[in-house]
Each structure stands twice: as C-alpha cells, then as structure tokens.
Chains A and B, each alone.
Chain A
Amino acid sequence: MKRRAVITGLGMVTPLGIGKEETWRNLIAGKSGIEKISRLSPEEVSVTIGGEVKDFKANHFIKDRKALKLSFHSVHLAIAAAKLAVDDAEVKVEEINPTRFGCFIGSGGGGYEDGPGFPDLVEPLQKSWSEEKGKFDPVKFGTNGITSTYPLFLLKTLPNNAFYYISLFYNIQGENDNIIASFTGGSQAIGDAARAIIRGATDIAIAGGYDSLLLPATLFSFNHLKLLSKNPNPEKACRPFDANRDGMVLSEGAGMVIIEEISYATKRGAHIYAEILGYGNSSSAHHLYEPCPSGSGINIALKKGLNDAGIEPSAIDYINADGIGTTLSDRAETYAIKNVFGSDAYQIPISSTKSMMGHLGTGAGAAELMICTLAMQENVLPPTINYEIPEPDCDLDYVPNQARSEEIHTALSINQGLGGQCTCLIIRKVS
C-alpha cells in the first residue's frame, strides 16, 4: 500500500502568540501582531515597526544552559516550536526508533542575527580598527584581535545550529536535511520530510523553519531596497492585496510540525490533522529581490504541486497566499493564481495571514501551513486584515477583514523567497 505522510503535531511561535491556540485565537479575531519594535531604538534603525514574539522566555523551553548560550534568539524560537510540536503530537520520543526519526529544518542562513557571532567579535574587531586607514585592518586583527576572540563564536553562526540542537534533544538519528533558503526553507523542509516518509526513508519527522528578520542589518537592507512599508501605524502597515499596500512588515517566529507515516500515526492512536498531499518547488529565475511580473515561478510550483497531489485545481477550497504586501509581488501572485485556476480562481477564498503576523522569514512557510491545517480543522478561514480598497489587478476573494466559516477539505499554502525560490504545499483532511 502506498505510504502517506500526515501531520500530527503543530508547534508555532509567532508574533500572535506562543503555541497554536493563542496564535489561532488572534488570527480569527483579525488581530495584528505588529507593533513598535521594543528591542531596537529608533536611533539605530529607521524602521520602527515589526512583529516581535512577545513574552518569550527561552529558558522556559531550553533547560540546557550551554545550548542557550551557544545559540541565537531565532534558534531559541525554533527549539521552542519543536517542543510545542512534540508535546502537541503527544509522541513519546523514547519509544521512537532513533534511526527512523527524521529532522528537516529550514533556516535562513544562520544567525546573522545580531550578526554571525558578531557580539563576540565586537571587541576583537574594535581592536582591529585602523584610524589612519579609516577601516578594518587585517594586520591589526592578527596581532590584537585574534587573542581576544571567543573561540566558539563560529559554532553559533552555523546555519544548522537549530537542526543540531533539535536532533540532539530528541535523539534524532534518521534521514535529515538542513535546508537553506530565504523564506521558502520552512516549506521546503516540510515538503522534503513528507517525501522522505512516503519513499520509506523514515517513519516520523520533525520539520519546519525559523527566522528572525528583526535585525538592524536586515531592516536597513530591506528598507533600502524599498521592500518595506512606510506606514507609521503598526497595525495598518501590512496590507496585502489592498490598493494602498506599500510593502512588507518583517517579523520573527518559528513553526515546526510532526509528520508521520499514516499507519505509524494510527498505530499509536495519534490525532491526525491532515495529510500532506502535494509539494511543488521551482524558481522564477527573474531577479534577486523583485518578483517576476508574470508570476512564472509560482505558476510552475502550483502546477507541480497539483500534479504531485494528483488533484484538479478546482479541488482546492482555501489558499493561504504568500501575500507579502508589496505592490508587485501581490499582483504577480494574483496573476499566477488566475493563470493556474482559471475561472475557479474567483471562487476560492484566499487569505494572507502576513497581514497580521508580518513576514516570519524562513519560518513563514511552516507557520502558514499550520494555519491551513487549523483552518481545516476548525472550518474557519482566517482573514486578510487591512483590506479596505480593492485594486483592479487584485480582484480575487481575499477573505477581507473578517474570519469566515467555511467547510474546507483541501488547502494550499504558497511561499516565495528572495532570489525567486517558490514553493507550494497541499494538504487534505483525512477522513
């Protein structure tokens, strides 16, 4: 019999809450998680709004003090999400055969959070500054800097840091991957995990992504590239598909799911949320940070995903769109959806939960797939908030402002990243 991959545990840490209950409650209430960024001062960065994870206490989730010290905030979020997912799946880790337990993590390229180990480098780098040349001097670094460098700083910077700790804490020795992608990493990890389960390489896996985009360098850079919203009102800033949208809002967060082979899950009496039915992955090959106007990357990913799932486009009941809130990207995405779904596009409710959470970076794909899962379970569609003025180019049903009750059997989540990477994941109710 064909092996099937099902989702049995959800763990998310987002600006809307820690854990699925809080996040979901806020999502359907149409609440925004975007606020003034509390940990950066306006003197440092001209961008002042973002989606911070509130009241997060890393030591609540991580007991190992060395692990806390040797990892960054975003990795703490990832470990917390993994713990929430494992708890939610009510799985007894000690009963799993470690070599049949997989780990698939998407990361955005490591902690370049506060810089890659940069706090540890501040002092050595300061000692390497040449006043005469007005710049960093490698010769001075060799004489004065190296001696005062924290020897383990490099470990923190590794992009597979979260992967390492998660596999260590849960004794995971099976099939694994640490996928690096800007923004699509989480969905790629989940797609690959589902495939590994289907082809029999593993029976159960932790999969997901994490990121923090609220770093001075990232905010500065995205702002400079004119990708961010200039709206001073935090709650109103992210307006996907609205005519007055003017850019993204950056956030932080993590999402991890437990995926199992269906018979493995039924045998242990697990609660099954949904089956992962299809996965599509492509590249738009257009530009580093501008979307392809025709939405060709999404187009290909959608077709591949539907083909992989073996279903017709009309079978999709709900789309959680990428909907980042920039003029060009939302338009291209709408265009691609129309291209693939034809006239059905107008019948399918679409929402961008980024309107409330902001962009979780590499955590987005995983968190948004979980939102699809919850929407399916509750038969409620989360809204796209701040949708006030329609635009002719974006004329689909974006579930504006109010959550809506609707029966959902099959849902689709779309993600795009910098550099043109695109993914889609399709999930279906298991009856």
Chain B
Amino acid sequence: MPRRVVITGLGLISPLGLTLEDNWSSLIKGVSGADFISSFDCSSWKVKIAAEIKNFDPCCLPGKKKSIKLMNRDSQLAVAATHSALEDSRLNRNEIEPSAIGIAFGAFGIQYMLEDAYIVAYSATGRKITWINESEEPKCLNPIWPLTILPNMSLCHIAIAHNIQGPNIAFCSLATSGAQAIGEAFKLIKCGEADIFIAGGCSTLNPSYIFSLCSSGLLSDEKSNPSAACRPFDKKRSGFVMGEGAAVVILEELSHALRRDAPVYGEVIGYCSSLQGNTLLSEKQSFETRVEGVAICLKEAINQAGINPKDIDYINADGKATFISDWVETEAIKKVFGSYAYQLSISSTKSMMGHLLCASAPAEIVVGALAIREGVIPPTINYQHPDPCCNLDYTPNHFKKREVTVVLSHTIGLSGENAALLLRRFS
C-alpha cells in the first residue's frame, strides 16, 4: 500500500501574530500586518512600508542561551516556529528516535546586513581594513559572521535546538523554496526515508533585499497608508509588501500518526514544482508563456493527486499584488478550471501578512490547513476596485464560511519558478 502523508502540527510566526490562534483571528478579521518600517531608518528610501514581526523575544527560545547568540533573526524565527509546530503535533519526543525525524527547510540566500557588507566589501578591495587587528572598531566583523549568513543555518539550528538527527535538506529558491521543502519532504516520507519531517521556511526583512526588490519594481509604492499597501487582484495594485516570518508544518506518515492518535489537519495529496523558462529576468517573457508555466504546474499537481479539478474548494493564491503576476495567475486558474474557476473561493493572504518570501508558501499551507479545520475562507483585504482582467471570487474583504475539502496552495517565484501543493481534509 502506498504510504500517505498527513500534516499533524502547525507553527506560524508572522506579522499577524506569534501563535496560530493570533494569526488565525487576525486573518479572519482582515487585519493587516503592514506598517511603517521600524527596524532601520528608511526616511530617505523609496520604500517605507513593510510587515514586521513585533514583540518577538528570542530569549524565550528553547535550547541553550549561548546558541541563540549564534543565530541570525531568520534562524531564531525558524527555531521558534518549529517549537510551536512540535508542541502542536503533540509528538512525544521520548518515544521517537532523533534520527527518525528529518528536516526540509527553505531559506533565503545569504542574509547579510549592509553594515557587515560594508566591512567585507571594503576589505575585498584590499583597502585599509585588516583582519588582524580585531579591536579596531567599527571596522571589525563579528567572527561568526560567515556562519550566520549561510542559508542552511536555520536548518542546522533547528536540528541542534530540537535534537533532530534524521535526513536534512535546505532549499534556496526564494519564494518557492518553502513549498519545495514541504513537497520534497512529502516525497521523502512517501519513499520511506523517514516517518516524520519538519518542513517549512523562514525569512526576515533585510534592507539590502528590500532595496533590490524595490529597484526591480516589485514592491508597493504606497507611501501613507501601510495597511492599504498590498492590494492583490485589485485594479490599483502596485506590488507587494515585504514581510518576515517563519512557518513550519510537521509531516507524518499516516499510520505513524494514527498509531499515536495525533491531531490530523489534512493529507498532502499532490505536489509539483516547475520552471517555466530559462531567463533570470522573467519580466521579459510573454504573457502566454507565463500563463502556460503556471497552468502546467497546477495541472501536474492535480494530476499527481489523482483528483478532479472540481474537487478543489479553495485556492490560497500567490496573489503577490504585482500588476502582471495576479493577472497571469487568474488566467492560469481559468485555463485549468474552465467555468468552475468562478465557483472557486480564492484568496491572497499576502494582503494581510505581506510577502513572507521563503516562509510564504508554508505560511499559506498553514492557512489552508486551518481553513479546512474551521470551514472558513480568510479574505483578500484591500479589494476595492474590481479589475476586469481579474474577475474571479477573491473572497473580498470579509471571510466566508465554506466547507473546505481540498485546498490548493500555489506560489509563483520571482524568476519563473512555480510550486503547487494540494491538501485534503482527512477522513
């Protein structure tokens, strides 16, 4: 009998809250997590709005206090989200071999702060700074710096803090890496590599990435009203709002979960990740190619799940609120679902959380799992001006009660990657 994979634990830290409950209540209330940037002085920057996590205190993390110092903020969020997911799954760690649990994690590229970049850049040109005189402030770099910026470090810290010794793999494809982490963990459990996987992703706000995403014209140009900045599918959408967060799901082989009477949120039934083209600057691609790329990914995931497109009730869309991407996504949904597209409930929770980058797909899977449990579709907020090109049911501004059996969670990367995951109510 083929092995089946279910989700038995959720952990989410986002601009909307530090716990699952806080996140869910903000989501159904339609609260926005976006605000003026407070973590650095951006008064001269073009971008002034982001969705930051407030009140997160790394001191309450499990594990040794000393290791918290070795973590960057990404890893801190990842370890904390893993902690809540493990608690939520009610896994009795005393009964499970540390090597029976694996980790698949999506993380950003190297995470460096501009201050550190300055020091390293300066030295790279062979000027002035020496690496010998360590006392000469401020031109001294924290010696563990190269270790803190590595993208696989969140994974290592999770392993260390939670004593996870099984297979591990880190993904690094920006927006889709979190979805790939969950999808690959799903495959690995299916083929018997482990019974349990911790899968998810994390991202934090980094000025240098804000700057480069802004210069690519992807960020919202809203200046004065933070909560109205991210407007997916709305005619006046102008881009997304950067967010930070970490989201983790515990994936478990079905019989393992049933044996220990675990809470089951849903079953992962399909996954596809694909590249739609071979160019780094996907803006140059034609509209049709892009629609086709997204549609292929959705179709393949549905095929793999062996279900009918009409079985799907809710799409947690990518909806990153850039003009072209939302339109492409809408067209692709129409292409795959035909006339049924108009009966689907669709929403973009990025309208509230902001774009959590590597954590966005896992966060949206968490939202999907909760939507199944609660029978409620969270809204797309800031939807005020209908766009004739985007005319599906985006669950505008208010949540909607609807029995949800199958959720499709879909992510479009910034350079042509696509990933789709399907989650079904377990019965």
Contact = CB atoms under 8 A, between A and B. Distances in A.
Interface of A: 41, 43-46, 108-110, 112, 114-116, 118-119, 121-122, 125-126, 128-129, 134-143, 146, 149, 151, 153-155, 157-160, 164, 167-168, 173, 176-182, 188, 192, 199, 215-222, 224-225, 281-289, 296-297, 300, 304, 418-421
Given A125-B122, A180-B150, A419-B153, 17 more contacts: A44-B123, A109-B109, A109-B151, A109-B152, A119-B124, A125-B118, A136-B118, A138-B40, A157-B109, A160-B173, A180-B170, A217-B141, A281-B167, A282-B166, A283-B156, A300-B165, A304-B167
A155 B129 CA distance: 26
B284 to A, nearest CB: 14
A142 B215 CA distance: 12
Contact of B114 (A125, A167, A216, A297): A125
A420 B160 contact: yes
A139 B41 contact: yes
B131 A45 contact: yes
Contacts of A192: 169
Interface of B: 40-46, 67, 70, 98-99, 103, 107, 109-110, 112, 114-115, 117-118, 120-126, 129-132, 134, 137-138, 141, 143-147, 149-153, 155-157, 159-160, 162-173, 191, 207, 209, 211-212, 215, 275, 278, 280
A225 B165 contact: no
B118 A129 contact: yes
B165 to A, nearest CB: 5
Nearest to A308: B193
Contacts of A286: 160
Contact of B125 (A112, A122, A139): A122
A219 B280 CA distance: 32
Contact of A125 (B117, B163, B278): B117
B168 A119 contact: no
Contact of A138 (B114, B126, B153, B167): B114
Contacts of B125: 119, 122
B121 A297 contact: no
Contact of A217 (B146, B168, B169): B146
A224 B143 contact: yes
B94 to A, nearest CB: 16
Given A135-B138, A142-B44, A218 B146 contact: yes
Contacts of A140: 44
A199 B184 CA distance: 14
B82 to A, nearest CB: 12
A116 B117 contact: yes
Contacts of A44: 123, 126, 129-131
Contact of A285 (B70, B120, B159, B207): B159
Contacts of B129: 44
A355 B132 CA distance: 26
11 contacts: A116-B110, A139-B44, A178-B171, A180-B170, A180-B171, A182-B147, A188-B169, A282-B165, A283-B103, A288-B160, A296-B165
A141 B160 CA distance: 37
A283 to B, nearest CB: 4
Contacts of B152: 109, 180-182, 419, 421
B109 A159 contact: yes
Contacts of B42: 138-139, 142
* Secondary structure class of chain A's binding surface, majority of residues: mixed
Nearest to B98: A285
Contacts of B141: 217, 220-221
Contacts of A224: 134, 143-144
Most buried by B among A140, A164, A285: A285
A148 B42 CA distance: 18
Given A121-B121, A122-B121, A221-B144, A142 B43 contact: yes
A220 B124 contact: no
A104 to B, nearest CB: 11
Contacts of B117: 115-116, 118, 121, 125
B168 A282 contact: yes
A358 B151 CA distance: 23
A216 B120 contact: yes
A221 B143 contact: yes
Contacts of A45: 130-132
A398 B309 CA distance: 60
Nearest to B170: A180
A411 B45 CA distance: 57
Given A139-B43, A282-B165, A419-B153, A118 B120 contact: yes
Given A138-B42, A142-B44, A158-B109, A283 B159 contact: yes
A173 B275 contact: yes
Given A110-B110, A119-B121, A216-B123, A134 B150 contact: no
Given A115-B121, A180-B151, A221-B147, A284 B167 contact: no
B130 to A, nearest CB: 6
Given A125-B114, A164-B280, A220 B121 contact: no
A152 to B, nearest CB: 9
B172 A285 contact: no
A48 to B, nearest CB: 11
